[in-house]
Amino acid sequence: MLIVQKFGGSSVADAERVMNVAGIVTRAYREGNEVVVVVSAQGDTTDDLIAKAKEINPRGSKREMDMLMAAGEQISIALLAMAIETLGCPVISLLGWQAGFQTNSTYSAARIKTVNSERIRAELDRKKIVIVAGFQGLNKYDDVTTLGRGGSDTSAVAIAASMRADLCQIYTDVEGVYTADPRKIPAAQKLDEITYDEMLELATLGAQVLNNRSVEMAKKYGIELEVLSSMKNVPGTKVKEVTKMEKMLIKSVAKDTNIARVTIVGLPDEPGIAFKVFARVAQAHVNVDIILQSVGRDGTKDITFTVDADAGERTVAALKELCENVGAKSVTYDTDVAKVSVVGAGMETHEGVAARMFEALSDKTINIHNISTSEIKISILINKEDADRAVAAVHAVFFEN
């Protein structure tokens, strides 16, 4: 079996952890598998490098920041390879470009164009464990790029897709995907399986288990993912197309408190006005989430939507000029809101999920500002202070009968 294993920065944070990862890798190898391992930079290395750069130049060019940051994975792959050497298995480490990662030229947020996995294949044929630097690639100018946030997950799935791997294991500091954040909800249960779509909805909800791009890519190429713990040798959560658990109405309750609510008051009620608003927002590279449009006074209307908290100011700035041009009254934003969502492919064919959710919140007298639904997700916007109570109430009604 060809397995791709990915370990994040906290999994290789120090010598002891690196040895632990070496143990996991060599176990899979000794069971007769071909093993390709993708590693992030050690957690403190990344912080150190950023600190060094900021001290010299708080606004260093992205090209040079990528050159700098890519040194982080170079260190961790070499260390992991040396750790595996001590366990007596043949091993070789490869940088992103050596492993065939070609990306576009958007420094600090590059997208993978292709993975030419010839070299990895050749090293596997020599019976070697192959350690690959995640998060990095090379653009058409032969310059080092990095993939941005969560990039190592994407690196792992890209290799799995390129090599048609049988399984892509994402090792993290949690044991899998839960019905809610287990640190907050003691009754949270680990899921055995979840579908790609459910995982995608969870990822956008701030449940930072898996990077979205990596799940999208896994879905596209049909790569089975497994999220599991690097510290505890127990099965994790499989992410795949169809799960045996479809009958389960919803899979998970999640909250996202890192959002801002932007409102445009008094827009003229005319055709195409919403298009103008969101075209301007898109121009500012802001992703919009929940949208609510309501009728205002005197033939005007209000549009409210949510964005990432750190995009709030930017969004308002982008809209200020537009508002003057179209004669809207004002643009405001606040961050005192939270989004709570339930996700589950099962709700497509079941009625009453929304009703049960709203009832649970009503019982706790939690006020709902906005509602947004998709086929497999219901999200509500509430006051930030109510977020934890809301998650507990919703989790209880669906999972704790």
Q: Which helix (H) or strand (E) holds 2?
A: strand 2-7
116 contributes a contact to a copy of itself by CB under 8 A = no
Report yes or no: 84 and 66 within 8 Å, Cβ to Cβ: no
User: What DSSP string describes 374-393?
Assistant: ETTEEEEEEEGGGHHHHHHH
Nearer to a copy of itself, 81 or 378 (CB): 81
* Least separation in angstroms between CB 99 and a copy of itself: 11
Type of residue at 250 = I
Kindly state whether residue 19 participates in binding a copy of itself, applying the rule CB under 8 A. Answer: yes
Q: Which of 25, 28, 37, 92 is in the footprint of a copy of itself by CB under 8 A?
A: 92
Alpha helices in 140-257 (DSSP H): 151-163, 196-204, 212-221
Distance from the first to the final alpha carbon of the chain: 41
Q: Using the rule CB under 8 A, is 89 a contact of a copy of itself?
A: no
With CB under 8 A as the contact rule, which of the stretches 64-72, 271-279, 318-326, 379-387 interacts with a copy of itself? 64-72
Specify the DSSP element, H or E, that contains 63: helix 62-86
* Nearest-approach distance from CB 37 to a copy of itself, in angstroms: 14
- Confirm or reject binding of residue 95 to a copy of itself (CB under 8 A): yes
| Residue 99 is a binding residue for a copy of itself (CB under 8 A) | no
Stretch that binds a copy of itself, among 92-100, 149-157, 358-366, 377-385 (CB under 8 A): 92-100
The one among 10, 104, 108, 119 contacting a copy of itself by CB under 8 A = 119
Separation between Cα atoms, residue 279 and residue 77, nearest integer Å: 43
Token output for 368? 């709902």
- Which is closer to a copy of itself, CB of 61 or CB of 208? 61
**Minimum CB–partner distance for residue 165 and a copy of itself (Å):** 23
Stretch of 45-53, 203-211, 265-273, 380-388 contacting a copy of itself, by CB under 8 A: 45-53
Residue 160 near residue 132, CB atoms below 8 Å: no
Does residue 307 interact with a copy of itself by CB under 8 A?
Answer: no
Q: Which residues contact 272 (CB under 8 A, 6 or more apart)?
A: none
Which position among 3, 28, 38, 70 is part of the footprint of a copy of itself (CB under 8 A)?
70
Minimum distance of a copy of itself from residue 131's CB (angstroms): 9
Q: How many C-beta atoms lie closer than 10 Å to residue 374's C-beta? A: 13
* Paired tokens of 353: 């999920």
Report the site for a copy of itself in 141-200 (rule: CB under 8 A).
142-144
Is residue 354 within the footprint of a copy of itself (CB under 8 A)? no
Q: Is 1 helix (H, G, I), strand (E, B) or coil?
A: coil
Q: How far apart are CA 304 and CA 262, in angstroms?
A: 6
CB distance 137 to 112 below 8 Å = yes
Cα–Cα dist 261/348, whole Å: 28
Establish if 212 lies at the interface with a copy of itself (CB under 8 A).
Answer: no
Q: How many CB atoms lie within 10 A of CB 325?
A: 10
Applying the rule CB under 8 A, the residues between 230 and 259 that interact with a copy of itself are none
Binding site for a copy of itself (CB under 8 A): 15, 18-19, 49, 52-53, 55-57, 60-61, 63-65, 67-68, 70-72, 74-75, 77-79, 81-83, 85-86, 92-93, 95, 98, 119, 142-144
